[in-house]
Amino acid sequence: MTRLLEGVRVLDLTNVLSGPFATLHLALLGAEVLKVENPREGDLGRILGNVPELNKRRMGTSFLAQNANKLSMTLDLKHEEGKAIFRRLVGESDVLVENYRPGVMQRLGLGYEQLFVLNPRLVYCAISGFGQTGPDAGKPAYDQIIQGLSGVMAVNGTPELNPLRCGFPVCDTVGGLNAAFAIMAALFHRERSGEGQFVDVAMLDSILPLMGWVAANLLIGGQPPQLLGNDNFTAAPSGAFRTADGFVNIAANKQEQWEAVAELVGLSALKEDPRFRERDARKRNRKELNVLFEEQLLREPTAHWVQACNARGVPAGAILGLEEALLQPQLEHRETLATVEVEGHGPVRLFNLSAKFGKTPASLDTPPPELSADTDRILARLGYDEAAIAAFHEQGVV
C-alpha cells in the first residue's frame, strides 16, 4: 500500500528532541527524511542515554528513540563546498526542518529567503524555544526552561510539592508534534497553490494551548489553578485512590457516574447528602469525600474496583509502572511498538506512529542510521563522482 508521504523529501537539520520528534512522524508516514549532521559529532542525542556502549558508538538510546526510518549524511555547513552541496539538496527537497537558535541559518547564508530563491516550493519549518521574533527570541531554551516559563511546573503537584516538572520532556515533544502538524498543513496548502512557505514553531506557544481548560478558568472565570495533586479539578470523586493492594484511578466525572460509584463502594447515602449531591458541592468538599471514598476502596484490591467500575460505565484503571504499561496487551494489539535490529546491539523496541490510517498505513521499517551512513550515496545521487566524494572526505566537508 502507498504510504501517505511517499515521494516527499525532508531535510532534517535538527538535534536532540523537538525537531527529531517532528521528522520522525514524517518518516513513519513514508517521507524520505535525510538527517544532515555535522561531521564531528552528529546529533547530540547520539551520546545521550543510559547505555554507555551505545553512547560511545553514537547510537544512544535518546537518538534511537526519535530517528527510525531516517537516513544520515554529514555535512559541514560552514565550509563553502558544504554549502554548495546543501543548496543542491534544497533543490530536490520538499521540506526543511531546523531547530537552531533564530538567526543561525541566516548567518550561514542558508536562511529561508536565500533558499526560497532556489526552491519556491520548499516548506521551511524552524522550531525554537520562543519563536523567531519577539523580546525572548534570542534566548536559549531547553524543555525544563519552557516548562517553568509556560506555567506547567506551577500547576503540577501539591502545595507541599510545587513547583513540579512533568516526568518527561513534554514541551519538546509537544513542540515536535505541533511542527509535524504545521508541516502537513503547509504541504496541503502547497498542493493547492504550488507555493512553499516559512513555518515558525515555538515550544512556548505549543505547550500553552494544552492547558486550555486550566487557562480558561483563569482567563474567563478569574480562578487561578488549584494544586490538587492527582485529583481532577473538574469533578469529584475523580483521581487516584489507595486500594487494598495499591492504587486505582477512578473518574466519576458525570452525575450518573458519581451515583453509580457511590453505590459500588457502599456509600449510597451520600448521593442525597447536600455536601455531595451536586458536582460543584462535591468539588468544594472533595477532601471529606475522598477520605470517605478511600476508606471503602481499601477493602478490596485494585483489580476488583477496576472491573466493578467499568461494568457500571465508570472509567477506572490501575496505575501501572512504565514497564508494565509498555507490556499491556492493548498496546500489542494496536502495534504501538515495533521491533527493529540495530547493528551491533540487537533488537530494540521503538514507538510506531500512533494514528492508524485505513488506506495509507504508517510503518517502522528501518533502524535509526549510523552517523554518516548514507553520505556517499546521497552525494552520488546529487551527481558527484567518486573523485569529488573522496575529496570532500579529505577536506572535512563530509
CB atoms within 10 A of CB 272: 9
> ∠38-116-67 over CA atoms, to 5°?
35
3-state secondary structure at position 8 = coil
Distance CA 138, CA 106 (A): 14
Nearest Cα to Cα of residue 175 among 22, 286, 302: 22
CB atoms within 10 A of CB 357: 12
Burial (CB count within 10 angstroms: exposed 0-12, middle 13-18, buried 19+), residue 79: middle
Distance CA 340, CA 68 (A): 9
Burial (CB count within 10 angstroms: exposed 0-12, middle 13-18, buried 19+), residue 198: middle
Distance CA 231, CA 153 (A): 16
CB atoms within 10 A of CB 161: 10
Beta bridge partners of residue 198, listed in sequence order = 124
Nearest Cα to Cα of residue 129 among 194, 192, 78, 174: 174
Distance CA 219, CA 215 (A): 6
Burial (CB count within 10 angstroms: exposed 0-12, middle 13-18, buried 19+), residue 337: middle
Nearest Cα to Cα of residue 26 among 337, 274, 322, 362: 362
Please list the active-site residues: 172
